[in-house]
Each structure stands twice: as C-alpha cells, then as structure tokens.
Amino acid sequence: MWLLVFLGAAFLVAMTPGANNLLGMHHGMRYGPASGVTGLFGRLTGFAILIAAVAAGLGSLLAASEHALTVIKWVGVAYLVWIGARILYTSFRTGAFAAADEIPTAPSLFALARKEFLTAVTNPKAVLIFTAFVPQFIDPARGQVTAQVLTLGAVYLVAELAAGSIYVGIGAIVRAVRMSKRAQRNLDRGTGVILLGMAGMLASSPR
C-alpha cells in the first residue's frame, strides 16, 4: 500500500508539464515514438544519478547549499535557452530553405538521450523532487533509510517513464495526423518559445 500510494503521487508529479516532458513531446512529434521513448532513457539515467546522490547523503547537502543550487540553476537556464533557441532556429531555417515535403532527419538516439539527460540533471526542480518530495515517504520504522530512498527512487523512475511515454505519445499522435508543414513549424516555434519562457522563469525565481 505504501508503495502504491507513492506511485500514484509520483505519477502526478511526473505528469506535471516541464522542460523534459515538453522535450519528449517534441521528439515524439519530430522523430516518432520509438526515437522519443528511447530518448527518455537519458532522462531516467539523469534521475537515477540524482537518486543515488540522495541515497549517498549528497541530496541534503545540495538542498542546504545556496551556492550549489545557484550553480545548478544557472546551468539549467543556459541549457534551456540553448535548446529553445536551437528549436526556434531550426524551425525558421526549415521554413525558409526546406522543401515542403522534407522529412526531418532524426539525430542519433544517443543525441536525443543526451538532451534528455542534460535537461534532467540541470533542472533544480528535479533536484527538489528527490530532496523534498521523495523523503516525505520515508519512515525509519520501515527499515534502512538508504534502502527506502533507492526503492522509492526506482518506483519514481517507473512513474517518470510512464508519464514521459504519454508525452511522447501525444507528440507521435500530432505527427501521425500529418499536420501541414506550416502547422508543424508553428508547433516547433511554440515549443521553443515555451522553453525560453521556462528559462526566464527559472532565472527570475528565488532559490
């Protein structure tokens, strides 16, 4: 029951719109569901590293360190700006130079996974998930705290995979309905603008 309750809560948290989910939806729309879902494993790898850090006791140190979180914050801002600007640049370049029936060439699966990974590990909100949300479900009466962190972390990864797959699926549905090239470019531009907006909100937010 304890893990089921956590799984439900974790799924709701994982479904919250954010940079990784938006990126996964974009990958599903541009390159198809197989590439999009494969890219999710980069995100899961990043989250697994954060879970291991919390289990090792580094999570509490990060949460208490103003300097560390500030560095993570600004690295995250820079990376979101880079991704958003890149998507915008590609959409305008495609609109200006590409043929109307051109199909975007999918980058390597490693490149997609790397984007998801870097977006995950440079997102302060992801750090807070594992330093503030997960610990709320830890009960010393259930046994060793480290083991509980690892168990809850593994369950969260399942929830994250499910939520991320849903966003990729939404993008794949958009791809399947064969929207006009103009509409696809507009969606890409909207994605880029939202990512830049997220970067702006992250930059202006307090710790």
62-99 burial, b for 16+ CB within 10 Å, e for fewer?
bbeeeeebeebbeebbebbbebbeebbebbeebeeeee
- 31 near 123, Cβ under 8 Å? no
pLDDT tens-digit profile, the chain (207 residues): 788 999 999 999 899 888 899 899 989 988 889 999 999 999 999 999 988 888 887 666 655 566 766 776 777 678 778 777 877 877 777 654 344 445 556 678 899 999 999 989 888 777 778 877 887 888 878 888 888 889 999 999 999 999 999 999 998 988 887 766 677 777 777 777 877 886 787 677 665
Which 3 state secondary structure label does DSSP give 201? Answer: helix
**Entry field: residues in the chain:** 207
> What would the DSSP string read from start to end of 73-133?
HHHHHHHHHHHHHHHHHHHHHHHHHS-TTPPPPPPPHHHHHHHHHHHHHT-HHHHHIIIII
Which 3 state secondary structure label does DSSP give 182? Answer: helix
Q: What are phi and psi of 126, to 5 degrees?
A: -65, -40
Closest CA to 40 of 25, 50, 61: 25
- 21 near 198, Cβ under 8 Å? no
